Structures are given as C-alpha cells and as structure tokens.
Structure 1
C-alpha cells in the first residue's frame, strides 16, 4: 500500500481539516498509511481519524500574527491574496518550498494531496504525484493566463512582478519556471469540491466538480415550517460587529452558534435575547427549525443551506465569501452584505423583509433538488480512485 501525505497551507476554517479527515478515513480503509502536515494543528486530532501521523505544516509568513501585513486596499484576485501572504518576496516561496522538501524527505510519500497548498504543489511538481483538492475558490484553474478579477476592480499587485518573484524562487529551489502565475495550482489531478452554481471560475473550468464536503452528509430538505433565524458566526471577525444589534432589532426569533465563543460573547448574545448554542447543531435540526439562515459565507455552510432549501444571508468579509455571496444573490436564493458595512436598523429591516418573502422561500426549496443531484461524486471516493491510478 502507499504512503500518502495530506498538506494544507491556506484558508482559516475547519472545513479544510474536515475535508482531509474524510479523505484520510477512506485512504486508511484502503490500507494506505496517511500523514497530515497542516497549517493549523489546533483541534486537528479531534477531527482526523486515529492513526493519521500529524505534522506541523509550513506556514506562509504573513499568516503569523506578529508579522502580519494583511491590511491595505481590498484584494481583487487570487494573486493579490498570495502577494499579501508573502508571494511578493521570492524568499517567502523559496522558504516554503524548502520546508516542504524537508517534510517530503522525512515522510517519503508516494503521493501528496494538496488542500489549498500551492507551495506544496511547487515542491512536489515533477517529483511526487500530486492530487489537488479544494473548493471552487481554492482550486484555481491552472490553465488560466492570469488570475481574473473577482470584484470587477483592478488588481492591487502587478501580476508580472509576482511572476518574476515566483520564478526566482522556483529557480533557487531547483524547479522549472512557470509561464503564468495560475500554474502554481497545477496538479496531476484536480478535484473541485463545490456546486457548479457557486464556482467563480466556472467558465474556465474543464474538470467536473465533485460533491462539496459538509462534514455530516447532505441535510434533509426543509419542509418550510421553521420559524427561527439561525446564525452561524465566526468570532474572530464577528464578535464586535453591528450584526448582532441588527439581529436583535429585527424582533425575529434568533438562534446562534459561534464556534469557540468566549464567555463574554456568549453572555452578550444571550442578553440580546438570542438562543445561544454552545455546541454545533446537526444541520437537519437547523433545517427543521429555521426559516432563514445567516452566516459569514463559509463554503460548507453555504452549500448545506442550498441543500436544505432555505434562503440565506451572507455577511461576507473576504474575497472568497463575497464570491459565494454574489452567486447566492444571482441565483435569487438570498441576500448579502459586507460584514463591516452592516448598520443595525437597515439590516434589521432588510432581514424582516427577506424573512417574510414567501416567493424567496419557495425558490430556495425548489432549487434544493438540483443541488442534491450533485452529491453523487464524493471527494473521498474520487481521491481513492486517483490514488489507485497515480500510485507508482
């Protein structure tokens, strides 16, 4: 059997580890040994199956809080994101590749599986077969001549200068240069775990997507009888947001779950009259009891909302989540607002209007079967098939 290395570099939510855990479980059931090198190992042992060998993965330098330089004009492209994280300095990418080289020598995998891990793909290229997995935002088509703007605005960074810095790093680490920056995302196999309808690169995509990873299987379709507003929060960005006052002013019944919420935040939300859930709720229960959903726009939650046929409001705060929010609005299945642009009274009024919109609720329920029809190709099964094909 093969030795498999799972690697994760970018992205900040638990969905990456959930997806890799599904993949690891299937690979181990097939008899493979599995190592996981993760950007963030916090809580990973509670999600990954027993037997996975855990390593601290290389970290892009500006993800480290004490040297963070993530402020500046709003980003418009994936190149902008990578530059903010360090791609504008050739030393950053070179250091990441060297770090992955060390792990590759220590683990000696037969195949690597890269989850939003462009530096790992660079390290593995031509040396170890690579399977790239991720959401539609994370799996940029490697065939693109340049990263497109996802906002309609001009890029913040000069992509040609970033390409020069990238190729300097590739040459310095013994790799061949690339002709276009999106080639950072090339792999021997690409598996896009997302619905076509929320794929911001759909027009350039050649491979067929697989089912999104949502952790507990596809939720049941809502019967439309729920009355609550369910809010899935993200404390790091939402703790002090005007969102909470807007929800309170709406006068609607609100139930909230914020992972790892501080005691101060949970007390504040309870004081506002919300039903606060300290532990995650099964999505079937959310679908049963809710009329509309509010979230920060994480891919897994947005996908689950589409599957259960409930309208949703996305309070996005980054380029990825804005992309999903734009797709939800274009589909006519909900609303969106930038998190930091929320003002309590207008938000409350808008939420009440969406809550009362029977036509919106009917559209969301009618659309759900189309999303369920896309759940037949599971990421773990597709990875297992790719491993069987690529094994030396």
Structure 2
C-alpha cells in the first residue's frame, strides 16, 4: 500500500484544513495509507477524518518578522513568516525528518507547507503543492509583487528571493547538506491550483492546473431570509477585519435586510448591533440557500466566501485584512463583480458604497457572468480531479509496482540461515 503524507504548515483559514481533510478521505478511499500533518489538530465538529488516517502536529513556525515594512513577494512573505532565522529553519527541517521517519511517505502533498516541501526535496520524496494560487508562485523570475497597487522595484523582488535563499542555504549547510536547494526548486508542473483562473492571486497561468475550489462546509444552521420586498445582504466578517465596527454600522444604516455571520464576535456586542432588519450569527450558517436570494455579499476577500458568492452570481463588497485577501479582492474588482472598501472608511461612505452596488446592475451582471462560465462546476468534481492528478503525478502503474515491491522487502521477515 502506497503512503501519502498531506501537510499544512502556514495560514489560518479553515480552507486549508478542509482541503487537507477532503484529500485525505479521498486518498484513503482509493486504498492509500494517509498521514495528516496539520498546523492545527483541533478539528471542527463533523470534520473528523476517516478511520485509519493518522493525524500529527507540524513543527511550530514562529511568526517572526524579517524587518520593517511589508513583504513584497512570496519569498519575502516567507521571511516574514518564520523563514528569517537559520537556526529556526534548520530545527524545523530536522523535525520534518522525524515526521518522515514516522510516516514513511512515498509522496508529499503540501498545502502551504514550504518547510515540508524543502525537507521532502532534500530527502528525495516526490512532492507537489496544492492551494488557491497565493502559496504557489508562478514560474517567473523574480517572483512577482504581491502588492501590485504599490510601486515595488525589480531590485526589491530579486533581493527578497536572494535573502530567503541565503537563509535556506545556511540552514541546509548546518544540517550537513552539501548542495543547497533554492526555494523556487520546490514548485513544479505537478502543482494543483484549487481555484479558478480568474481568481488566481497572480493572474491566470497558461499552464496552470486549475481544478476549482475544494470546499468542505462544517455543520451549519439553516437560516432563512425574513423579507420579500427589501434587498438582501449577506455578510461574513470577523472582528479582526480593519474597520469591522464601521462596516457593521454601515450595514445597520443600509435600507436592506442584513444577515451577518461574525465568528469571534461576543454575544454582548452582537446584541448591541442587532435590529429587526440586521441579524448577527455567531455560529456557521448554511450559506448556499441564502446566496440563492441574496443581492449583495460583504466579506473580507476570504476565498471560500468570495468564491461561493460568485458561483451564485452575487457581487461582492470587500474589506481585506491580509495581502492575500487584498489580491483576491483586486481580481474580483477587475472582473467588475465587486468593489474594494479600501483606505480609511467611515460608516457614511460605506453605506453609500453598498447602496450604489445594490442599485448598479453592472456588478450583478459581472457576477452572473462568472456563474454562467462555471455553471458545471461542483465541489466533488474538484476533489476527484485533484485526486486523479495526485495519482498521475506519483502513482502510475510502474511506480506503484516498485513501491509495493519495496514495502514488501522492508516488511518481510529475514531469511533463516542454517
């Protein structure tokens, strides 16, 4: 039986975990032995993996900055996310060696797991990356800016990648590796993009292997719209979103029925905001039936909610928190299917912006165009295509025979000598 290790190392969103769990269950159902190495092993209700799948925690990645300013490209983002210190990187590589010794993988599938990719590359373990685009940089040199709305110099992009390679080089030498592996060596033609080309953070790639989003919705409450006549606005926000309270105040002022899903908001704060027209949900709700009749969605550029809105033909107003979300928001805006709430905001201007989006049919038409282009898409289709691509990359007929033969040799008892 071939063994697959699925690793998730960076990022906070539920989407990473959902993707790993769906892939693990799918591979296990196809007869593979699967180990999950996860940044967070606290699994939501209803999301436990199939029996027989091993779950391990990944080595802790310190979120230490690499200096002042903001990261300019993917390499720089890694230096801001625990890849600025040689000793830290070497320690995590050593820990991944231990995970490999336990799991004995024949292949690694990495979901925003750059240290795992590097460790697998050094260990000679076949690997690929899977993700929504942001954590799989395109095959260009230097890697492009992740702040296209700012003037980032070519020299800054080159310098960011060289500095990261310098740290990784030193970490590999510390562990005794003679030839250093560069970070761009970790990505390749087998990588899987679980998004749509229009929503790729770096723009559509000619050779990109797009499968569409792999989603898994936790157990959720069924909620219905209350009004027939008013416009309906579905919001998904978190207290950490910049201007969270301002956006809520704008939603209260809006002449519409509003349902706002706000994980992390306190009950007391929700009660102060809620009115007969504005409901606040603190637990997950089933979004699909709500999107079916929604006129506008308000989010922060998070991939799952944004894509779900567009697949339903609902335009988006977006207030990003992180650069990854801002990149996605710019893609939606470029399609004409949404608008950014950027810079300093006040409740009056946000209300005006939301009201304009409700009245301007162009936003709705662009979102419906996206829906029509992808009306054959299903989440199960995305997972099945991903599983097939993983099998094709690692486990063609000749390779699977070799793996099974090697496992049989390792596990068979030694011959008796008389």
Give your verdict on TM over 0.5: yes
Contact 2:193–2:211 (CA under 8 A) maintained in structure 1 = yes
Alignment partner, residue 171 of structure 1: 173
Out of 317, 321, 326, the residue aligned to residue 325 of structure 2 is 321
Instruction: Find the aligned partners of 2:71 and 2:6 in 1 and give their Cα distance.
Output: 28
Q: Aligned in 2, Cα 1:388/1:44: closer, same or farther, shift over 3 Å?
A: farther
The reply to whether residue 368 of structure 1 matches residue 371 of structure 2 is yes
SS in 1 for 2:37: strand
Q: Within 5 A, what are the aligned runs for 1:184-263?
A: 185-186=186-187, 189-202=190-203, 206-215=207-216, 227-237=231-241, 240-263=244-267
Contact 2:336–2:362 (CA under 8 A) maintained in structure 1 = no
Offset of residue 225 of structure 1: 9.0
Alignment partner, residue 298 of structure 2: 294
State which structure, 1 or 2, has the greater radius of gyration over its C-alpha atoms. 2
Give the unaligned 5+ runs of structure 2: 219-227, 396-402, 404-418
SS in 1 for 2:350: helix
Q: Within 5 A, what are the aligned runs for 1:1-392?
A: 1-44=1-44, 46-51=46-51, 52-62=53-63, 69=65, 72-125=68-121, 126-141=123-138, 143-152=139-148, 153-154=151-152, 155=156, 158-175=160-177, 176-179=179-182, 181-183=183-185, 185-186=186-187, 189-202=190-203, 206-215=207-216, 227-237=231-241, 240-270=244-274, 274-338=278-342, 341-373=344-376, 378-387=382-391, 389-391=393-395, 392=403
Offset of residue 311 of structure 1: 0.6
Give the unaligned 5+ runs of structure 1: 63-67, 218-223
Q: Aligned in 2, Cα 1:53/1:299: closer, same or farther, shift over 3 Å?
A: same
Q: Aligned in 2, Cα 1:269/1:50: closer, same or farther, shift over 3 Å?
A: farther
**What CA RMSD, in Å, does the superposition of the two structures yield over aligned residues?**
2.8
Instruction: Find the aligned partners of 2:180 and 2:350 in 1 and give their Cα distance.
Output: 49
- Count of aligned pairs between the two proteins: 377
1:318-344 CA-partner distances (Å, limit 9, x unpaired): 111111111111100010124x73321
Offset of residue 122 of structure 1: 0.3
1:66-108 CA-partner distances (Å, limit 9, x unpaired): xx54894333311221111122222222222111111111121
TM-score by length of 2: 0.82
Offset of residue 271 of structure 1: 5.5
Hey, which bits of structure 1, 4+ residues long, moved more than 4 A?
A: 68-72, 373-377
Instruction: Find the aligned partners of 1:372 and 1:229 in 2 and give their Cα distance.
Output: 23
